[in-house]
């Protein structure tokens, strides 16, 4: 017959913390942001690990929105004529992703 304390020991071992850790779902590949006060300004390229999906976040103070292109294309945007730039911005920006952080 097994003593009662050994049952409690087995239960504690089974329910205790395991050494396995969860992998991060998203990570930052490139980060071109600067902090002024408590606000972020710049670009950040985010990668979703399981599917290798990439997108760029544009930070302007407490506001952030996602863009459908890579960060290099946004950095090259000032080199294009203004007519082309406005049309590309309208296509690239995911308008539903605009959010303001507290």
Measured distance between the N- and C-terminal CA atoms of the chain, rounded to whole angstroms: 60
Contact call for residues 40 and 61 (beta carbons, < 8 A): yes
What is the spatial distance between Cα 7 and Cα 96, in angstroms, rounded to a whole number?
Answer: 54
pTM listed for this prediction: 0.60
Q: What is the pLDDT of residues 47-68, one digit of tens each?
A: 887 777 888 888 888 888 888 7
Number of residues that make up the chain: 102
pLDDT in tens, 21-30: 666 788 888 8
């Amino acid at each position: 017959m097994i003593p009662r304390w050994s049952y409690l020991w087995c239960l504690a071992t089974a329910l205790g913390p395991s050494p396995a850790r969860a992998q991060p779902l998203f990570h930052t590949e490139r980060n071109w942001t600067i902090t002024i006060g408590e606000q972020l300004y710049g670009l950040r390229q985010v990668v979703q690990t399981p599917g290798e999906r990439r997108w760029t976040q544009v930070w302007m103070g407490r506001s952030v929105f996602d863009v459908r292109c890579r960060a290099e294309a946004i950095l090259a945007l000032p080199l294009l004529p203004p007519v082309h730039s406005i049309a590309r911005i309208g296509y690239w920006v995911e308008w539903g992703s605009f959010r303001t952080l507290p």
